[in-house]
Chain A
Amino acid sequence: MRSSSPVRAFVALATFALALVVTLAFTRTASAYPWMIRHGYGACTTCHLDPSGAGVLTPYGRAQGDLLLRDHYTKNGKAGPEEASKTAGFLFGLLETPDWLLPGGSYRGMYLYSKPPSPAPAIARYVQMQADLKIGLQPGIFRAGASLGYAHGGALSASITSRDKDNLVSREHWIGVAIGDAVMIRTGRLALPFGVRTVEHNAFVRASTRTDLNDTQQYGLALAYSDTKSRGELMAIVGNFALHPDDYRERGYSALFEYFVDPHVGIGLSSLRTQALRDVTTRVAYARQAHGLFVRASPWEPLVLMAEGDWLLLSPDGAATASGYAGLLQADFEVRQGMHVMVTGETLRPAQAGADPSFGAWLSLTWFFAPHFDVRTDFIHSRVAAGGAHANVESVLLQLHAFL
Chain B
Amino acid sequence: MSLRKTLVQAGIPVSIALSIAICSWPDDGHAALKRVGDSKVFFFATGTPAMKFTGTGSDVTIADDGKNLTITVGLTTIDTGMELRNTHMRDKYLQTAKWPTTKLTVVKSDLKLPAEGAKSKSTTTGTLDLHGVQKKVKVGYEIEKRDGNYVVRGALNLVMTDYGVETPGYVGVSVDPAVGVALTFVAKDL
Contacts and interface: CB of A to CB of B under 8 A. Distances in A.
Interface of A: 39-46, 58-60, 63, 67-68, 78-84, 99, 181-182, 226-228, 231, 260, 262-263, 301
B187 to A, nearest CB: 28
Contacts of B86: 81
The 10 closest A-B pairs by CB, nearest first: A43-B50, A81-B87, A226-B50, A59-B171, A81-B83, A228-B52, A45-B49, A228-B46, A60-B173, A263-B52
Interface string B77-93: 00001111011000000
B178 to A, nearest CB: 12
A63 B173 CA distance: 11
A79 B54 CA distance: 18
Contact of A46 (B50, B81, B82, B87): B50
Contacts of B37: none
Given A67-B82, A80-B83, 14 more contacts: A43-B49, A43-B50, A45-B50, A58-B171, A59-B171, A60-B170, A60-B172, A79-B82, A81-B84, A181-B50, A228-B52, A262-B16, A263-B52, A301-B81
B177 to A, nearest CB: 14
B2 interface: no
Contact of B84 (A46, A79, A99, A182): A79
Contacts of B54: 40, 263
Contacts of B87: 81
Contacts of B49: 43, 45-46, 181-182, 226
Given A60-B170, A99-B172, A262-B16, A78 B50 contact: no
Contacts of B173: 46, 60
Nearest to A72: B83
Nearest to B174: A181
B169 to A, nearest CB: 10
Contacts of A182: 49-50
